[in-house]
Amino acid sequence: MNKLTIGLLLPVSTIVPMSRDFEQGLKQALKDQVDQDCWEVEFIPEFIGQGSRLRVEESIDKLFSYYHADVVTGIVSNMTGMAVAPKFERYKKPFIMNNIGEHTPNPEWFNPYIFINSTHTWQQIWSLGYWAVKTFGNKGMFVGSVYDAGYSFNNMLRLGMQAASAESNLSFSIAQITPGAKTADPKTVFEHVELFQPDFIFSAFCGEEATAFQEAYTNADAKNIPLLALPFLLQNFDAKDHELEIYTALSSTALLSNGESGEVFQDQTFYQLGKETGMILADALKIVKDGDWVEALNQVKVDSERGVLHINSQKPGEDNQVYLVKNTHTGNRKHMRRAVIRRLETVAIDDQALSDSLQELSSGWENPYLGI
């Protein structure tokens, strides 16, 4: 019997059970699609805390040197993925990296052993910024905590806005941490919102702060200012009896129709990423020859709920279409209606302005988004 040993890089999260969901999706897909009489699949979990470069590098060494893993997968940010890419080239073993695309990936930092399965949030936010300027006006405002601001969200929003209009202007309001509090207070951003009077707001809050922001927004004068957000703002949504509209985005290589449900891939992000990775590996098992997993992964063609998956790290986001999702809360407590409104203008990784921004000095969190 043939054997496949899979190393799993699993971070912690106090917000969502990302690692548990990812592992369940991965194992379910492999169970459903792999002939158990032909292949024995072994899983070696490595818990990487918040996914720092040092912690991930130690786990990679253990997985290859001690466990002799054939392939490694798991949830790692693009920031850490770019830093540890040389490790996989040294071991000549593939890594299927999963994340939401909280950092914009720079293909120059990857090598043929790195594959990316992602929702490419960086691409979605560019599209939202472009659409918002064309729809609402040139003045946008990014609001979030210091944590949320440590990713590529604000840069991609700015690039999308500038692509729509050179006259666009993005301001920021970072929530303050009040004495004795464990989290930032989203209510503190509204002083700056009132002062700047933006044409639209982009909220990057997550977890408990997202819930607090929703409550503050629905009770503020700024409620009439159009609100854009990451889908994770709606993770524990409860606007009580308030009517509310929030615009988010989703990506797919498949053609979606206007009015189609926007539930696709919104609520089980990490389970779906795990499931897709399982489908990718199952397809690779049908192709692999002489243990050349890199070549097999280069040939896989998997059709998922997000359409055909492209995992080439040199062309992240390839063939993606970004769709605008309107999330409507009509005042019926805890009931949210999501619908695809239209297809949006989309940016490619080789866009000149985007490429130029990747050459600039940047800093940010190493942990995957929500991995706190």
pLDDT tens digits, 150-198: 999 999 999 999 999 999 999 999 999 877 777 889 999 999 999 999 9
Give residue 172's pLDDT.
95
Domain co-membership, 96 together with 38:
yes
Provide the pLDDT confidence category of residue 372 given band limits of 50, 70 and 90: confident
Q: Note whether residue 313 is domain-resident.
A: no
Cα(252)–Cα(321) distance, rounded to whole angstroms? 5
pTM for this structure?
0.94
| Contact between residue 172 and residue 200 where contact means Cβ atoms under 8 Å apart | no
| Domain finish residue from 308, 341, 367 | 308
Which tokens go with 270?
């990490």
| Contact between residue 30 and residue 282 where contact means Cβ atoms under 8 Å apart | yes
Given the structure tokens 């889908």, which residue do they identify? Answer: 231
**Out of 13-22, 115-124, 250-259, least confident range:** 250-259
Domain co-membership, 85 together with 147:
no
Cα(195)–Cα(366) distance, rounded to whole angstroms? 33
Which tokens go with 242?
């308030």
Domain co-membership, 67 together with 159:
no
Q: What is the pLDDT of residues 217-268, one digit of tens each?
A: 988 889 899 999 988 777 666 656 667 889 999 999 988 877 666 565 556 8
Measured from the Cβ of residue 303, the count of other Cβ atoms closer than 10 Å reads 11
Q: Note whether residue 258 is domain-resident.
A: yes
Domain co-membership, 55 together with 148:
no
Cα(273)–Cα(8) distance, rounded to whole angstroms? 13
Which tokens go with 148?
């949320």
Domain co-membership, 254 together with 129:
yes
Residue-range definition of the domain harbouring residue 287: 2-119+265-308
Domain count along the chain: 2
**What does the angle CA 105 – CA 107 – CA 109 come to, to the nearest 5 degrees?**
90
Measured from the Cβ of residue 91, the count of other Cβ atoms closer than 10 Å reads 17
**Distant-in-sequence, close-in-space partners of 135: CB < 8 Å, separation ≥ 6:** 226
Domain co-membership, 213 together with 346:
yes
**What does the angle CA 70 – CA 73 – CA 74 come to, to the nearest 5 degrees?**
150
| Domain finish residue from 249, 277, 308 | 308
Cα(144)–Cα(81) distance, rounded to whole angstroms? 24
Question: What residues form DSSP beta bridges with 115?
Answer: 96, 312
Which CATH number does the domain housing residue 115 bear? Answer: 3.40.50.2300
The alpha carbon torsion through 272, 273, 275, 279 (nearest 10 deg) reads: 130
> What average pLDDT does this structure show over 33-37?
91
Domain co-membership, 135 together with 187:
yes
Q: Note whether residue 371 is domain-resident.
A: no
- pLDDT above 90 for 211: no
Cα(242)–Cα(330) distance, rounded to whole angstroms? 7
DSSP assigned state of 175: P
Domain co-membership, 238 together with 186:
yes
Q: What is the pLDDT of residues 277-295, one digit of tens each?
A: 999 999 999 999 998 999 9
Q: Note whether residue 372 is domain-resident.
A: no
Q: Note whether residue 365 is domain-resident.
A: no
Domain co-membership, 169 together with 216:
yes
**CA distance to 15, 56, 151, 327, per residue, from 250 (Å):** 21, 29, 18, 12
Q: Note whether residue 364 is domain-resident.
A: no
Q: Note whether residue 328 is domain-resident.
A: yes
Give residue 369's pLDDT.
85
Chain centroid to CA 21: 15
Domain co-membership, 60 together with 106:
yes
Q: Note whether residue 368 is domain-resident.
A: no
Give residue 183's pLDDT.
83
Percent of the chain with pLDDT strictly greater than 70: 94
Measured from the Cβ of residue 211, the count of other Cβ atoms closer than 10 Å reads 17
**CA distance to 34, 270, 302, 305, per residue, from 282 (Å):** 6, 18, 10, 16
Measured from the Cβ of residue 113, the count of other Cβ atoms closer than 10 Å reads 22
Domain co-membership, 144 together with 250:
yes
Q: What is the pLDDT of residues 44-76, one digit of tens each?
A: 999 999 999 999 999 999 999 999 999 999 999
Closest among 208, 163, 287 to 15, alpha carbons compared:
208
3-state helix, strand, coil in the chain (%, to 5): 40, 25, 40
Domain co-membership, 126 together with 110:
no
Which tokens go with 259?
């009015």
DSSP assigned state of 147: T
